[in-house]
Structure 1
Amino acid sequence: MSQPPVPPPSQGRPPQPPPYPQQAGPYQLPQSYGPYQPQPGPLTQGQNPYLQPQFPPPPQQPPTRRRRLPLVLGAVVAVLAVLTTGTVLMLRDDSTRSDGRASATSPPPAPTPTTIDGRQLLTVDAPKPKSSGDYIQTPGAWLTSRAYATGAERAVTGYNPTTGKLAWTVPLSGGLCGASRNVTSAGLVAVVFHATKDAVKSHCTRFAVIDVNKGVKVWEKPITDESVSLGLGLNVAISDTVAAAGWPGGSAAYATSTGAPAWTAPADGCTQEEHLGGKELLTLSYCETSAGMRFRVGERDPGTGEATWRYEVPKAEGAWLVSSEPLVLGLLQNDDGLDADQLVTVSDAGKVQSTIPLGDDYVAGCGEAGGCGATVVSGDTAYLGSDPHSYSAGNRITAFDLTTGKAIRSFPAPDDSTLVPMRAEGKALVAVQKAEPATPAEVLRLDPATGKSTTLMEMPNELSLNSTLHSLISNDVKVPMLYEDGRFFLHTGSGYFAGAASPDPMTLAFTTSRS
């Protein structure tokens, strides 16, 4: 099977520090990376921001557009080369919808909160690895009417969404490698984790589906393809019928309800796959075609593994699945390894319906977390935040008509702050305003029909808390921020290792309820 071409390294890129401690012996990271490898740096060492705020100082001049450094699906050669060296990179917790909520049936909406003043509901400290070889990731956060669940240290944990109290823990044999971004209508999520507690030597070869409403493991199965290794480039997704994982050179899927194997390799002629969950599972593949290696989007038959292609991207340096209904793709046409520079909407007939050029103006959030986490699609509307290009300027959120590709409404951020799209609420958007030193974080409802902005929740205006929320609220979060009925949840799936103190809690939640 031929391998896809790898673009030449970008010029002038500074070496990035490794996310894993240097004392990790033979599993140390290299000092620099190729253009399409994830490049997260180590966690910041320092004091707890509840004791000392950590706001960055204003730059002397506007910064250049920051690199989002996606692991582009087509760069399989570079990724496989890294895997064979025995190095450890940050693992990805990618997959499906951008809001992490139930993907179909949702509970009836609760009464509108009588206050917008948020109080702290839940705080969970970051895990503390005990040895130099211990490396912990906690991907995954999901909200249903019965539970708020997150990844934890060798476990998935569930909390009462009203009281914030721990409700259950599902232990795992090893640390998490990846988790589905969405939860099914039945409250099921998918996770991939290490076979043993040793996060360095054991591979990510265990796959499980967990019922977060009940706090039980539905089933657990092995991933027999050892090329999954330590989970570099891992993507996990779940639909009502199929739970799947994809990584450079491999793919595996199982029936959601029973765990029966669906397929154990990428579709014929393809080298890598990423999946998008929801009612049906959608697959983005990099395949050999008559025109050369191309990205294809389709569905795979869970019985035979055969793929039915819906759309073939003519040519692109990278591609991401943004939405399945309608089908929206984020495409990278440049070879510089930045965020997607255009969104393409594809009709049910497999024809391009509209194209939205993004350039350097908008942040789609496509990259190492899989999908495009900063883009919210609702019906025929897509919401994107702009890149302010300066720490001293605010941004805006723009609503685009996916049938025409044209902008229909913009919402400027108040107080020169940053607005981040979070999820759709009917035909409106729920967004969060990033905290600043003297400005608290807020959850807002933006209505494109009227242009009205309504505050749903305002966090306490405390300098130390503002510092923490400034850090946790971002376009680039790997785990979705969640809001429902006056409750706001944040969770980080970043890696933790010995000797690197986390400045932020692992999980933080607020509520407007006074009970």
Structure 2
Amino acid sequence: MTQPPPPPPNQPPDPQGGFGAPTPPPPQQPEPGYGYPQQPPTQPDQGYGYPAQPPAPEPGYGYPQQQPPAYGYPTAPQQPQQQPYGGYQQPQQPPAYGYPTQPQQPQYGGYAQPTPPPAPGGGKKLSAQLQIVIAAVVAVVLIVGVGIWYANSGGDGGDEAKNTGGTSQGSTGGGSTGGNGLGGGGKEKVPADTKAKLAFQVTEPKVSDITDVSGSWITDKAFVKPGVNSLVGYDPDKGGVLWTLPLTGQVCGASRHITADNKAPILFEATKRVAPRYYQPCTEVGVVDLNTGKLLWSTSVTGGNAGDQKARFNEVTLSGATVAAGGTDGGAAFDLANGNPRWKPQANDQNCYDMGYGGGEALVAVRKCGQYDSPSVTIQPINPMTGAPLSQFKMPTGVKYASVVSTKPLVVATDIGDSAGDGSGITDFFSIDEKSGKLKAKITADPDQYAARCRPTEVESCSKALVGNGRLYVPTEEHEGSTGEYGDETNEIIAFDLTTGRTVPEKADAGDKYTFVPLRMDGGNLIVYKEPPYGQGGRIVSVDGGTMKETLLLENPANKSLDSPESSFSLNGAELLYRDGRFFISATLVSKPRENASPNDIKEYLIASFAVAR
């Protein structure tokens, strides 16, 4: 079995914020990740968009498949019909900054646009006067219909939907909805005073080389952050160290999801990094009690491309009682309670392996097969106890990687043909029926227009894209505000319907000089950070997922100092968490101090915390 070459010495971590050293190219003999081999396809490639039936009794591909119908609104008659893409019609591309396109005869809350009656006299042309009268009647009906639809499009939801997978603290949010209606149902409440103060700050630790410190969690008792060869729990109000968990090596992976009782899966290295390489393979999987700092268990596995060596992983996640880790050596899963393996990496003749998993309310594998230069990528909702596929969706030709934005409902992002060109890793989103494997909608997201980001080589790495209320919420790129002055950039949050793929009429506007950065879902609401202009404090707002109206939850103090703890972080290299009146910004990379450092240099912080009065 051919082993992949080791990473080159002194290789820094991926600048996009990944864990550990850069991921090597996928091996030629990876494994299935489910504990048993899969059979090669028995029929020619059907192309993406066709659901593959789940295996019975053994997994395999090539089952007869049926093409689902086209989706979306009918194309206006004055425009040419769009060509089907993989058996599905693409929704019309929204215009600049995501303003919705007006389709022909959409249904507004059950009210269809009326059609003019036939001309009297057996098809004779209508008189000019009669045409004017008909047009006026049509306009009145439209106004009434649209008004009723808008009146029923927002409002607070009922009870908050339950999240059986625990709590999601990552940037992508989850698939929760806000009760019976759109929006509402969130846990975050408006405090008596939204004015926040700097609660505490922690300076960067001293390191000998670039060190990845990605990962952060909030509990009722602690704010937890990786240190150097350790995890550290801080008092969430004052910043004092509550506990320190020493580890054998550096943390190299952290789950976005935690259990209801605050347990989190992590990855870490088996030994400490030393000169000159400052690199160790990411092989150890463990679960930590975030309240006490106790390592409940840790383990490693062999197999797959790793052979008799320990398998290396890039990322780890959680769904229910299963911890799942993936990487180029293959995927593995473990019992949350004791670390016993549920499945391990295995080599196979089809060069198939699990790149990684999306967790939360369900467990979804992104599986790659074939050669490195011409792979086949499939999305597989799987049984978290056995790894058996429940359904399967094949991504289109030209896709080498895919990222899971949400597992339930299932939404996947990818960069088709590596054409994004802006480092975002996204050209399209795919809304997939997780039960049948059928495509519901393909949403084209022009990288020049939308600002969501995914790290292509990791499955659960997307930021700024949120899923809830049957919608996909993404921010637009920054653009000039209404005043046209320097520094007047702003943006919006646009929503796409996951069934039709079309933009919805409602949108949220950040306002001049502020920029929206979506953080997570809160029931049917969006928790969003508003990046401020120079000298002003940032804000945390709750955006109703139906009406898209915002409510202020927290506002940081204005600070024009170069050492401002808030403005010292680059948002593309920081993690932002908000919970119950507390806002945390933390770094993902720590660098070696400059040799000629000056006392006047801008300070670099590991953590900055702001809080309202409690």
* TM-score after normalising by structure 1: 0.74
- 2:234 is matched by which residue type in structure 1? Y
- 2:444 is matched by which residue type in structure 1? P
- 2:535 is matched by which residue type in structure 1? A
CA drift at 1:418: 1.4
2:418 counterpart of 1:346: no
Q: Distance in 2 between matches of 1:486 and 1:353?
A: 38
Q: Distance in 2 between matches of 1:375 and 1:101?
A: 8
CA drift at 1:323: 0.2
Percent of paired sites with the same residue: 27
CA drift at 1:498: 5.1
Choose the corresponding residue for 2:471, options 365, 381, 394: 381
Contact 2:174 2:406 in 1 (8 A): no
Q: Distance in 2 between matches of 1:311 and 1:459?
A: 44
- 1:119 is matched by which residue type in structure 2? K
- RMSD of aligned C-alpha atoms? 3.8
Distance verdict in 2 for CA 1:503–1:404, change over 3 Å: farther
Contact 2:513 2:532 in 1 (8 A): no
Structure 1 equivalent of residue 125 of structure 2: none
2:339 counterpart of 1:259: yes
2:449 counterpart of 1:358: no
Q: Distance in 1 between matches of 2:362 and 2:242?
A: 30
Structure 1 equivalent of residue 514 of structure 2: 417
For this pair of structures, how many residues does the alignment match?
434
Choose the corresponding residue for 2:265, options 176, 183, 190: 190
Contact 2:282 2:314 in 1 (8 A): no
- 1:56-91 Cα distance to aligned partner (Å, 9 max, x none): xxxxxxxxxxxx9xx99996379x9xxxxxxxxxxx
2:609 counterpart of 1:509: yes
CA drift at 1:211: 1.3
CA drift at 1:412: 2.0
Contact 1:241 1:280 in 2 (8 A): no
2:299 counterpart of 1:204: no
- 2:462 is matched by which residue type in structure 1? C
Contact 2:196 2:611 in 1 (8 A): yes
CA drift at 1:510: 0.9
2:227 counterpart of 1:152: yes
Structure 2 equivalent of residue 11 of structure 1: none
Choose the corresponding residue for 1:222, options 300, 324, 327: 300
- 1:130-185 Cα distance to aligned partner (Å, 9 max, x none): x4xx5532121112333321211111122333444322222111111111122122
What SS does structure 2 have at the residue aligned with 1:284?
Answer: strand
Structure 1 equivalent of residue 376 of structure 2: 294
Q: Distance in 2 between matches of 1:114 and 1:465?
A: 31
Q: Distance in 1 between matches of 2:189 and 2:543?
A: 19
Q: Distance in 2 between matches of 1:331 and 1:150?
A: 29
- 1:366 is matched by which residue type in structure 2? C
Map 1:486-505; keep pairs closer than 5 Å: 486-497=581-592, 499=594, 503-505=603-605
Distance verdict in 2 for CA 1:171–1:362, change over 3 Å: same
Distance verdict in 2 for CA 1:449–1:140, change over 3 Å: same
- 1:323-374 Cα distance to aligned partner (Å, 9 max, x none): 0110000021132354211111111321111222111211221115643111
- 1:89-111 Cα distance to aligned partner (Å, 9 max, x none): xxxxxxx863499999xx99476
- 1:406 is matched by which residue type in structure 2? R
Choose the corresponding residue for 1:406, options 502, 508, 523: 502
Q: Distance in 2 between matches of 1:303 and 1:454?
A: 41
- 1:489 is matched by which residue type in structure 2? F
Structure 2 equivalent of residue 48 of structure 1: none
Runs of at least 5 residues in structure 1 that lack an aligned partner in the other structure: 4-25, 31-36, 42-67, 81-95
Contact 2:469 2:545 in 1 (8 A): no
Larger Rg: 2
Choose the corresponding residue for 1:161, options 224, 227, 236: 236
Q: Distance in 2 between matches of 1:2 and 1:283?
A: 24
Q: Distance in 1 between matches of 2:186 and 2:488?
A: 41
Choose the corresponding residue for 2:9, options 8, 14, 27: 27
Structure 2 equivalent of residue 396 of structure 1: 492
Contact 2:320 2:361 in 1 (8 A): yes
Structure 1 equivalent of residue 63 of structure 2: none
What SS does structure 2 have at the residue aligned with 1:472?
Answer: coil
CA drift at 1:205: 2.1
Contact 1:149 1:158 in 2 (8 A): yes
Map 1:107-118; keep pairs closer than 5 Å: 109=187, 112-118=190-196
- 1:215 is matched by which residue type in structure 2? G
Contact 1:202 1:230 in 2 (8 A): no
After alignment, is 271-280 or 412-421 more displaced?
271-280
- 1:164-219 Cα distance to aligned partner (Å, 9 max, x none): 43222221111111111221223121111121222525322222111113321110
Structure 2 equivalent of residue 323 of structure 1: 406
Distance verdict in 2 for CA 1:507–1:223, change over 3 Å: farther
CA drift at 1:233: 7.7
- 1:285 is matched by which residue type in structure 2? R
Q: Distance in 2 between matches of 1:99 and 1:159?
A: 21
- 2:613 is matched by which residue type in structure 1? S
Q: Distance in 1 between matches of 2:591 and 2:224?
A: 19
Contact 1:137 1:153 in 2 (8 A): no
Q: Distance in 2 between matches of 1:451 and 1:206?
A: 43
* TM-score after normalising by structure 2: 0.63
- 1:300-344 Cα distance to aligned partner (Å, 9 max, x none): 556655444432223342311110110000021132354211111
What SS does structure 2 have at the residue aligned with 1:27?
Answer: coil
CA drift at 1:483: 1.0
CA drift at 1:431: 0.7
- 2:604 is matched by which residue type in structure 1? D
CA drift at 1:285: 1.1
